Amino acid sequence: MAMRVGRVALASVAGVTDPGFAETVPGIGMACVGGYSLDGPTRRASREIAKRGRDEFGGVTIEGLADEASSSGVPCVVNARSVSVEPLLRLADGGVAVEINAHCRQPEMVEVGAGEALLLDPEGLSSWVDSVKVAGGVVGVKTRANVVDDGELAASVEPHFLHVDAVGPGGYDLDAIRVTRENFDGVILGNNSVRGVEDAEAMMDAGADVVSAARPALTEPSLFAKLAEALEPRGEVVIDGS
């Protein structure tokens, strides 16, 4: 299985970026939809997070989500939160590309062992990746930079793509993209504070193949079309799921 995607992606925002929303954002060549909590512990955590006023998806089934993502007019990968690999395998069985959420830092999610907590167990994360690969699925991991050693993580976990939130002290940390590129041969999505063409090109010059953004879809959706136009000469990207 392989995915042909554009150079500009919509990143996930819980409670907002579902496949239907992705189809309304002009210029994107890929959508990371979600994040979706797909098992009991993460769904309970989502309910607690929602009590604090944060948007969360609720009431989704894995089968329904797989159908919705598969039928979207935009290439979709499903950003999935869980504490075990089983929900990810069910998505892969439904023909859906999976993005393992090792990124969410909400305390309720981390406390149950999901989201950013997965970064602390690279061996376990690698095992999940391998299991989804065996099931025949395209699999990626959404990470948060500077939580663990980014180079070691990139070298030890071998998904088809890595989606790096290159968070730094004053914006994006291009060194996080560079060190990931030095240790990883797959497709890299660079994320964080992409507000214009200059930011996108800086991410790509550092080693990203695709740039992603999320909040501008709510505040400045025209940004995605501007980025897509500027990056079009670079051509498409193939995420090789073989």
Q: What is the pLDDT of residue 119?
A: 98
Q: What b/e readout covers 107-121, taking b as 16+ CB neighbours within 10 angstroms?
A: ebbbebbbbbbbbee
Q: What is the pLDDT of residues 191-225, one digit of tens each?
A: 999 999 999 999 999 999 999 999 999 999 999 99
Q: Tens digits of per-residue pLDDT, 8-42? A: 999 999 999 999 999 999 999 999 999 999 999 99
Is-cis flag, bond preceding 35, omega within 30?
yes
pLDDT of residue 1 exceeding 80: no
d(Cα 41, Cα 114) in Å, to the nearest integer?
9
> CA 37 from chain center: how many Å?
14
CATH architecture of 2-240: Alpha-Beta Barrel (3.20)
Give the Cα separation of 166 and 57 in Å (integer).
25
| pLDDT tens readout for residues 125-155 | 999 999 999 999 999 999 999 999 999 999 9
pTM for the whole structure? 0.97
DSSP assignment letter at 144 = E
Q: How confident is the model at residue 116 (pLDDT cuts 50, 70, 90)?
A: very high
Q: Can you tell me the distance from the alpha carbon of 220 to that of 200, in angstroms, rounded to the nearest whole number?
A: 15
Q: Which pair of structure tokens corresponds to residue 175?
A: 């060194």
Residue whose token pair is 């740039």: 211
From the list 127, 126, 81, the residue with the least C-alpha distance to 105 is 81
User: Does 29 sit behind a cis peptide bond, omega within 30 degrees of 0 on the bond before it?
Assistant: no
> Taking the alpha carbons of 112, 115, 117, 123 in that order, is the dihedral positive or negative?
positive
Mean pLDDT of 178-188: 98
Confidence of residue 170 (pLDDT cuts 50, 70, 90): confident
